[in-house]
Amino acid sequence: MKIDPNWPALSSEEAKRLAAEGKANVSSSSASKSVKQIWLSNLFTFYNMLNIVLAVLVITTGSYRNMMFLGIVISNFLIGTIQELRAKKTVDNLSVLTAPTARVIRDGEEKILPCKELVLGDVVLIGAGDQITADGTVLSGEARLNESLITGESDAVLKSSGDNLFSGSFVISGEVAVLLTAVGAESYAERLTLEAKKLKTAKSVLKTAMMNIIKTVTVFIVPMGVLTFYNHYISQGLSYVDSMIPTVAAMVGMIPDGLYLLTSMSFAVGVVRLAQKRTLTQQLYSLESLARADVLCLDKTGTITSGNMKIKGTVSFDGDDIGALAAEIYSAVPADNATARAIVSAFGSRNPIEKPAENILPFSSALKYVAADFGEEGCYMLGAPEFVTGGSFPEVLEKAAEYSGDGTRVLALCKGIFDGKLYKAEKPLGFILIEDEIRPNVSETFEYFRKNDVSIKVISGDNPAAVSAIAKKAGVIGAENYIDASALSDEELSSAAEKTVVFGRVSPEQKRVIIKALQKSGHTVAMTGDGVNDVLALKDADCSVAMASGAQAASHAAQLVLLDSDFSAMPEVVLEGRRVINNIQRAASIFLMKTMYTFALTATLLFVPFAYPFAPIQMTLIGAVASGIPGVLLALEPNFKRVQKHFLSTVLKRAIIAAATVFIGIMAVLIINENLDAAVRLSIEEVSTICTVYTGAASLMTLLTTCLPLNKFKAAIVIGSTVVFSAAISLFEELFMLVPLSEFGRIILLALLPLTLIQLIIRDIQLRKEKDYASKRNKSSGIRAF
């Protein structure tokens, strides 16, 4: 669009003054946490506050060494905060690369500036694919907008001179010059930033499971602590110190503090690792959604193909200069997409029509054609043959099908009429043939998804036969199974979503229909896109991925952004998601084991006359050596196996077996000792020592079974944890409130230790079953295990 000297554009000095007055387009809110919020959210958690209260209670007993559990609390706080700050810094640095920019008129010239540098009264140029980040009034031009974020309606709205624009909408087609009338907090810019990024939060099975666990623990932990103290102090008549120390120990054991750290740290590390691979994560749990996805929907242009359109040739029915006429249309209508730019580049120097257009119709994904009315010189329409001709010229459609059979994109040029409202084709003039190169390595990417049971759905606005041919060349299995979505109702399209692979002539609204139909069938759906026509579907998908080179609206709507716009990077993103989920799932059972056996033991001891056999410092030792430190290290290990369904049930099965082993062993010690003659009965200190050593051994066995099958890294973790625990109970007996065992005490301990092998036996059986299942599955599907 040419600059009009009559536009009330600002000078740089005026813009600087307005910015100093607070009239800049600066958001007062953010879609991500601030540094202060990160520190506070990690510090003031329920469990941190509970641990501080417990520490105060320990202080009242004078047993200061039992406050060692605060060391784990502080470590959790620092590690979690540092990792989150590191992730924030990385994401913020990458966000600069995808931050929205605007074309603004300053000092009479067009300049590209970040949207946050716009000020009240600026004149900006807005075209197809741009998001509107401040309110304004149209000065010149016409554009069709999607205002679904504001009105909830996805129908395109035509805006022309004098109309108001609101941030939160985006341009589908056309170009306008806009005078900004409200910026920053006075406009819808706040809504744009937050809704475009947070309108749909990534679904997380893992987050839901974790929250359920934490809520359950939270409900019971304080009442259990109160009852434990009452049982020791009132029912058993023990002293305040002898009642408070085991009460604190029980509550420390029930807190799954390491579980929260493990989850937040794993995702933070995943975000940083993806950033190093040029992938911006805009929603933390989107990694999980993509790793769990079993259907991947994608557009053809910009994903399978590079989006670099090239003119292959023209076909004229009656000798007309098809290329020149097509270029003439785009001399009147802004060339706001790759197809238009390719036509202008190839034929733009020819100008058979000198008269300016009296009326134009910019391209839109819904209409799929562009038109211009030059009055006496004629009216011309260019676009998808089915839509331009309106189905009135079947012979033209037959010819178009012949050219599109090899994947060539065919545009039909027709001469028509404009009655003041609608365009109608009267005479087909010819075709423009366009080709788009297939991206390198895309076949390997599709093969990866095939081997990992992820179905591919190609959803495109182009001719279904042409899309099918390109998809087949790219290696999409079942690409020959295609349909023309323009001929189907929403109900018919929903029914076809499951069995169809390639969808052609799909409107933006139909993309949403396909996504929702697949989700309704129980699929976890990921969607990739780069255009304005993909925005609505990106918001509906379980995980959305945008190409940074595409429309700004698509990047803002997506949960993940590929900064290099390279579809072949998708497997690495999936693998990182798998690493995060699998490691959390693996290590979670270690943390939950401690919580479960502590709950079971505490609840049982409320009804029997036994004292709780642990001190807080002993629980701290077991938790740190057998779960805390190993859990953090395991979260960093590569783990690219397919993500298992039923996260919570899988974790609980492993944790229950381990917790049962500990619970049975401890109860056996307490019952045996209670029934011994007074002469040989063990002291409370000896019972505590046996329980500590046995629980530590059982926890280390849980660590071992969790790490199976072993590699060098996991073996080092298991051996290192065992050595540290052994050294602690041997060299620091007094610190950890342990005492030498009598001969009978050693006999009881040695008799109990074989119980820990039950975990190993059960885990070995599970691994054998998993191996047999994988072998049978791969034989039946004809693929190798990944």
How much of the chain, in percent, has pLDDT values that exceed 70? 92
Q: Under a CB-based contact definition with an 8 Å cutoff, are residues 645 and 523 in contact?
A: no
Q: Which of 603, 297, 599, 596 is nearest to 456 (CA)?
A: 297
pLDDT at 436: 85
CA distances from 783 to 114, 775, 778 (A): 49, 10, 5
299 is catalytic: yes
Residues 6+ apart with CB under 8 A from 732: none
In the chain, the amino acid numbered 682 is L
Q: Which of 633, 645, 501 is nearest to 585 (CA)?
A: 645
Q: Is 397 exposed, middle or buried (0-12, 13-18, 19+ CB in 10 A)?
A: middle
Q: What is the pLDDT of residue 410?
A: 94
Cα angle at 236 between 227 and 738, to 5 degrees?
A: 90
Considering only residues 53 and 777, tell me which one the structure prediction assigns the higher pLDDT: 53
pLDDT of residue 605: 93
Across 144-153, 211-220, 250-259, 685-694, least confident range = 144-153
Side chain identity, residue 681? R
Q: Give the pLDDT confidence of 595-647 residue by residue, as tens digits.
A: 999 999 999 999 988 989 999 999 999 988 998 889 888 888 887 777 776 77
The answer to whether 122 touches 180, Cβ cutoff 8 Å, is: yes
Read off the pLDDT band of 28 (50, 70, 90).
low
Which is more confidently placed, 713 or 216?
713
pLDDT bracket for residue 29 (50, 70, 90)? low
Catalytic residue among 122, 135, 257, 299: 299
Report the alpha-carbon distance of residue 657 to residue 652 in Å, rounded: 9
SS3 676: coil
pLDDT of residue 148: 63
Interval 479-494 mean pLDDT? 93
Q: How far is CA 446 from the centre of its chain?
A: 20
Among 76, 55, 77, 75, smallest CA distance to 66 is for 55
Is pLDDT of 393 > 90?
A: yes
- So what's the pLDDT on residue 678? 82
Q: Which two tokens stand for residue 401?
A: 């099908």
CB 688, CB 615: distance < 8 Å: yes
Mean pLDDT, range 507-514, rounded to an integer? 90
Report, in angstroms and rounded to the nearest whole number, the Rg of the chain calculated over CA atoms: 33
Query: Does 200 have pLDDT greater than 60?
Result: no
Asked if pLDDT for residue 303 goes beyond 50, the answer is yes
pLDDT digits (tens, 9 = 90+) for 176-192: 999 999 988 787 645 44
> In the prediction, which pLDDT does 350 show?
61
Question: Quick check: 386 and 505 in contact, CB under 8 A?
Answer: yes
Strand-strand pairing, 482-484 and 502-504: parallel
Burial environment of residue 664 by CB neighbours within 10 A (0 to 12, 13 to 18, 19 or more): middle
Determine the Cα angle at 354 with ends 323 and 162, to 5°: 100
Rounded Cα gap, residues 587 and 597, in angstroms: 16
Say if residue 730's pLDDT is above 60: yes
Structure tokens that stand for 731 in this block: 């060299």
| Comparison of pLDDT for 699 and 85, the residue scoring more | 699
Q: Which of 40-44, 228-232, 645-649 has the highest mean pLDDT?
A: 228-232
DSSP state of 421: S
Average pLDDT (90-110) is 79
Distance CA 194, CA 197 (A): 5
- Taking the C-alpha atoms of residue 527 and residue 544, their distance in angstroms, rounded to an integer, is 5
Measured CA to CA, the distance from residue 372 to residue 350 in angstroms comes to 16
For residue 668, what are its two tokens?
A: 């056996």
Mean pLDDT over all residues of the chain?
86
Strand bridging mode 279-281 / 170-182: unpaired
pLDDT higher than 60, residue 327: yes
Backbone torsion region of residue 302, taken as left when φ is above 0, otherwise alpha when ψ lies between -120 and 50, otherwise beta: left
pLDDT at 207: 75
| pLDDT tens-place string over residues 138-149 | 999 888 887 765
Q: What is the pLDDT of residue 150?
A: 60
Tell me what pLDDT residue 206 has: 79
Amino acid making up residue 706: T
Average pLDDT over residues 534-546: 89
Cβ pair 100, 556 in contact under 8 A: yes
Cα separations in angstroms, 642 against 210, 291, 582 = 20, 8, 8
The alpha carbon dihedral of 225, 230, 235, 240 has a sign of positive
Instruction: State the pLDDT confidence band at 786, using cuts at 50, 70 and 90.
Output: very low
Cβ 106 vs Cβ 124: under 8 Å: no
Q: In the structure, what pLDDT confidence band is assigned to residue 199 with cuts at 50, 70 and 90?
A: very low
Name the least confident of 316-320, 518-522, 554-558. 554-558
- What are the tokens at 484? 């023309």
Q: In whole angstroms, give the CA distance from residue 369 to residue 337.
A: 12
Per DSSP bridges, beta strands 423-438 and 455-459 are: unpaired
Q: Where are the alpha helices (DSSP H) in 487-628?
A: 490-496, 508-520, 535-540, 552-557, 570-605, 616-623
90 against 480, higher pLDDT: 480
* 773 — pLDDT class (breaks 50, 70, 90): low
For 236-253, write each residue's pLDDT tens digit.
999 999 999 999 999 988
410 touches 385 (CB < 8 A)? yes
- Segment 409-425 shows an average pLDDT of 91
Number of H helices, E strands in the chain: 28, 21
| HEC letters along 62-96 | CCHHHHCHHHHHHHHHHHHHHHHHHHHHHHHHHHH
Helix ranges (H only) for 231-359 are: 240-254, 257-276, 286-292, 322-332, 338-347
DSSP 310: E
Query: What integer pLDDT is reported at residue 46 of this predicted model?
Result: 80
- Nearest of 95, 96, 102, 143 to residue 15 by alpha carbon: 102
The token pair at 478 is 């079942």
Stretch 63-68: mean pLDDT:
89
Indicate left, alpha or beta for 652 from its phi (over 0: left) and psi (-120 to 50: alpha).
Answer: alpha
Q: What is the pLDDT of residue 776?
A: 62
**pLDDT value of position 545:** 93
Mean pLDDT is lowest, of 48-62, 81-95, 563-577, for 81-95
Buried residues in 646-658 as b, exposed as e (16+ CB within 10 A): ebbebbbebbbbb
Q: List all residues 6 or more positions away from 691 whose beta carbon is below 8 Å from its beta carbon.
A: 613, 614, 666, 669
Q: Which residues pair with 144 in a beta bridge?
A: 158, 173
Q: How far apart are CA 136 and CA 183, in angstroms?
A: 9
* β partners of residue 382: 370, 413
Q: Which of 34-38, 309-313, 613-617 has the lowest mean pLDDT?
A: 34-38
